[in-house]
Chains A and B, each alone.
Chain A
Amino acid sequence: MMDLIAYVPLLPLIGFAVLGLFGKKLKNEALIGFIGSATVGSGFIIALMIFLSMIGMPEENRSSIVHIFTWIQAGNFSIDLAYQVDQLSILFTLIITGVGFLIHLYSIGYMHGDRSFYRFFAYLNLFIFMMLNLVLASNFLVTFLGWEGVGLASYLLIGFWYDRKFEGTKIIWTGDAAKKAFIVNRIGDFGMLVAMFLLYTAVGSLNYADINSAAVATFPMGGAMITAITLLLFLGCTGKSAQIPLAIWLPDAMAGPTPVSALIHAATMVTSGIFLVARNATLFSLSPTTMAVVAVVGAITALWAATIGLVQNDIKKVLAYSTVSQLGYMFLALGVGAWTAAFFHVMTHAFFKALLFLGSGSVIHAMHEEQDIQKMGGLKKYMPITSRTFLLACFAIAGVFPLSGFFSKDEILWHSFVSGNYILWGIGVITALCTAFYMFRLYHLTFSGKERFDHHHVHPHESPITMTLPLMVLALLSAVAGFVGIPHVIGETFGHIPNYLQEWLAPVFATANAQLHEHHGTAAMEWGLMGFSLLVALTGIFLASRKYNTNAYNAAEGQPGAFAGFRKLLWNKYYVDEAYYGAIVEPLHNSSRAFLWKIFDVKIIDGMVNGSAELVRMSAEGLRKIQTGVVQNYALIMVIGIVAVIGWLLVQL
């Protein structure tokens, strides 16, 4: 049964090959769309079958390794292409293929009429293949293959419309945004490479199973080595999962078509970092320093991005910052050792954020590529399905009971509170307030109030069924997914409902949890905090609705005022991009051009080479003058020479 897992990545790979090689000849959108979606859909069915059979198995049999072939072998170093099917990877696989399938389906409608329809589906299939390698890998190097592979797919898809312009700091074309994403990610990949070298040196293997079992014996708690390894791994995570300091690429990645933003830059790829930490929870649990760094970076990123999201006017940019912010939550969870909570939020976020992006795609589609929410408004009349599913997703992300986001977010906040990180908990709560506010600002400016678009040019309409069906399925999931992870206090109250997710994942995190201190809070405290965070969410919703659910809104309003300076800071994203360009990129470019190339290479090295050639030429010129052809001169020189030699010999004697 487990061996079937190989087909899950294989099918999208075949889809990629078929569409990439023959897609142009197929010409038929329906057929191309079918191939693209069916490969992922059947992968989902296979994964589901495996998952169901795993449920029936005893706990200790749920993890197995499926060997495919030996990938790299040199000297003592040997790495297999092998997949590890266990409780963690199968859930990721289900999310990737499930949400992936829905987004493929949606794309059939969204990309209709695009001249490179086949290319889009080929790239999407490539992405799914690489993403599955990332999560199914049984060792670091195969994860790295997927890790860079999704980066490639992301690059290709961000720059999919490579001849379109895109606005951003130092960005003119969509391709510039793609390039930025790839390069920023490579900085993270550098960290991962070095971490892998260190791990291999220390443990002698790159297999997750070996590392997990050897870690506790190999690395002393809090040692320098384990801290270095985990911090370097985390550097990789900050790249892929867009955390400070490498978060800057994700908002620009919105240059890609909207289904890409939903699939890659919200639901799946950006959660790779969470996967990597969760997969190596044991390593991270051995370094309290790294855990603290992860938690603090996560919390700060969450707040940083949420505040920027408050003032953005591009519908996709708001969602992009929201994604960065939610990913921050997930790292906060990991940092306080709430592994399950982090994964729980990965899952619920995949549903509601994919829904939000697809909904925004539906809006952009209806508005003829308009993305500025100041030029929207009142769309709910025209787009009933889109607006309702979008609203539901907004409630979910804001954390309103009993939607999925409530449970996952609350679990994160609860764990940060009981672990004693009150400041981080506070940041999380403020972020929750911001989240509720900017989401409902977005909702109201888009769907409620006065219609601010030009009726002569824009005729909003509901999207076709291939697009609305995924919205409805995702809406259902966003609503109910939270019930797999019901907190104990609620479960106890309503008749012993277990926290299914926690029980399922417990074996994966057993070793890691053994390294951490357990924290307990009272049930009353848990109820209280739960109520408090619900109150915070409702406050945010209320404030946003009062301000933006009105016909009176106009774009110019609110720009000046008490917070004008702060507003400008947020609008310019705290000038992080500008700082990076000014402090790193430009000096590097300028010194490489002006000094390394123009002076060091051309003047100094080549100058020496040409100079020595010149020296030879000049001395030859000089020597040539001695060749006068006058025999007497030669004789004179000979005599001088002989005298000199004899003189020297005499001195020696």
Chain B
Amino acid sequence: MGALLATLFLPLAGAIALLFYDREMGKGIRYSALAFSLLTFVCSIFVWLGFDASNPGLQFVIQQTWIPQFDAGFRIGLDGMSLLIVMLTTFIMPISILASFNSIHKRQKEYYIMMLLLQFGMTGVFVALDTFLFYVFWEVILIPMYFLIGIWGGQQRIYAAVKFFLYTMVGSLLMLIAIIWLGMYAQELTGSFTTNLLILRDIGPQIPAETQHWMFLAFALSFCIKVPLFPLHTWLPDAHVQAPTAGSVILAGVLLKMGTYGLIRFNLELFPQASEYFAPLLCTLAVVGIIYGALVAMVQTDIKKLVAYSSVSHLGFIVLGIFSMTPEGIQGAIIQMINHGLSTGALFLCVGMLYERRHTREMSEYGGIMRIMPVFGVFFAIAMFASVGLPGLNGFVGEYLTLLGAFRSPFLNTWVYAIVGATGVIFAAVYLLIMFQRVMYGTNDNPKNQALHDLTANEWFQLVPVTIFMIWIGIHPPTFMKYSEQSTRALVGKVESATRGTTAFTKELEQRTTNDRAHLHPEPAMVEQH
């Protein structure tokens, strides 16, 4: 309990503590922020150690009434999925802060306060078990992120920041309406309005399909903007390109995961019937996004924009996995959230390191960097291949499982999504290798690139931890995936019993499992029907 509270509130405490610092003592501010984020990471390790992977339910649950009038409470807790994403958050933050040391020179005090506030908000989103609390955290994040882009960003930072803000606001307003509607429905059913997710989890599936559809759409719009799902993605390239390196790392690493997390936590869990109804639509958009993002990434000349569009493609796999509504697909989606955070985070770190040295993101300004920055090149290459989805590195595990889930999903009931989505593996290689060729290979004949230095100690500290986890997840994913295995199974069981009415389907699934174990297909003729 204490560990989870500490993980949530330490960054806030840090932000408040930084308020009292003298703005002149830049070094003190930087290292204090780093210390707070590291301490938070240590606390989250205790959460990790205390977590029981065999328990599918919510753990570390804390409930306190906050606004009794509409039963809003301070309710937090974790299941396997939230644990993994919280760990990702606490892991990415110290690295992002480290990455800011050399790039942020103005208004350092405010900057690090914003960073810690951001961490507070993000952790809150992932642990909130109350729709109102969730909404508050969701909105809290907007403020620091708006300022991070708007103050410390690139040349068109204001445009990007406002676009980011407005896009997100439109979605979250609808979400607020749905949250209230949901509470009112609970009132109809139980006699009292509530935002308690623990109660709403059971109420959600009882809502008639027609109503569910509207609530589903309200939540989904908000989350899909965040993901971002095609065609709601156009805020992302601008925000990424304009944000400072650390902002991009957090944006890609954690913020986008708020959308996919929400889709699982709210859409799938609260509205299973509506999920089944809308799954084909969302999967179609996901698959279109996979290919669209890759094709547009392929023709970029700005490295950061390329990586930004690659996120659209990668997040498509996650959404596809989620709405396959199979254990394989959702487990794949969850690990892919972590993977994308690590590998795209690492790519943004690398792009940031180049930018620090040359102050340009145009690929044509580079070439032959491998010769002059060989160690950097190795890390860059590993991050790239993780992103390409090479087996042995993390990206493959997630992509494979999401596609497998989509392929075998009884809800989608067609192979088309998985097969079309799988072409994404070709395109991922195309755009990333083009980038690597232009930036790293060839000869270094730009006079401005002659004196670049290889990695600094600070940069080693950023890249080594990320790389270790990219390899670890690639070689032995069960270390991490076992934490969300049980909660995912429980979720899928819930969705299936809600949509298929009886447990007959669950039994059929059980039967299939037994057959899988026996490695024999009961009726070969069935295969031909597809």
Contact = CB atoms under 8 A, between A and B. Distances in A.
A182 B167 contact: no
Contacts of A152: 385, 390
B45 to A, nearest CB: 23
Interface in A137-161: 141, 144-145, 148-149, 152, 155, 159
Given A73-B478, A204-B516, A597-B299, A605 B231 contact: yes
Contacts of A203: 519-521
A186 B295 contact: no
A207 B519 contact: yes
Contact of A609 (B163, B295, B385, B422): B163
Interface of B: 163, 166-167, 231, 233-235, 292, 295-296, 298-300, 326-328, 331-332, 368, 370-371, 385, 390-392, 396-397, 400-401, 403-405, 407-408, 415, 418-419, 422-423, 425-426, 429-430, 433-434, 436-437, 440-444, 475-478, 481-482, 485, 488-489, 492, 512-513, 515-516, 518-521, 524, 527-528
28 contacts: A71-B477, A73-B478, A73-B482, A74-B327, A74-B481, A77-B401, A148-B390, A149-B390, A163-B441, A175-B437, A182-B429, A187-B426, A193-B425, A197-B407, A197-B408, A198-B415, A201-B407, A204-B515, A205-B516, A207-B519, A218-B521, A218-B524, A225-B527, A592-B295, A592-B296, A593-B299, A596-B299, A597-B299
B163 A163 contact: no
Given A162-B440, A179-B434, A225-B528, A73 B481 contact: yes
Given A74-B481, A77-B328, A204 B234 contact: no
A541 B419 CA distance: 49
Contact of B476 (A71, A213, A597): A71
Contacts of B299: 589, 592-593, 596-597
A213 B296 CA distance: 45
B235 to A, nearest CB: 8
Nearest to A24: B374
A172 B437 CA distance: 11
Contacts of B418: 194, 197
A144 B391 contact: yes
Contacts of B492: 75
Looking at B425, B434, B442, B476, the one whose CB has the most chain A CB atoms below 10 A away is: B442
A294 B425 CA distance: 25
Contacts of B370: 162-163
A224 B524 CA distance: 12
A210 interface: yes
A189 interface: yes
A411 interface: no
Nearest to B328: A75
A588 interface: yes
Interface in A199-233: 200-205, 207, 210, 213-214, 217-220, 223-225
Contacts of A580: none
Contact of B234 (A141, A210, A605): A605
Given A74-B327, A200-B404, A210-B519, A179 B422 contact: no
Given A149-B392, A613-B166, A75 B430 contact: no
Label chain B's interface by main secondary structure. Answer: helix
A193 B478 contact: no
Given A183-B429, A609-B167, 7 more contacts: A76-B328, A77-B328, A175-B436, A175-B437, A193-B422, A205-B519, A606-B234
A428 B128 CA distance: 70
A173 interface: yes
Closest 4 A/B residue pairs (Cβ): A75-B327, A175-B441, A74-B331, A593-B299
A182 to B, nearest CB: 6
A240 to B, nearest CB: 14
A601 interface: yes
Nearest to B428: A186
A163 B371 contact: yes
A19 to B, nearest CB: 13
A190 interface: yes
A162 B442 contact: yes
B136 to A, nearest CB: 26
Nearest to B489: A75
A70 B422 contact: no
A76 B512 contact: yes
Given A75-B331, A148-B390, A183-B426, A596 B527 contact: no
A72 interface: yes
Contacts of B516: 76, 204-205
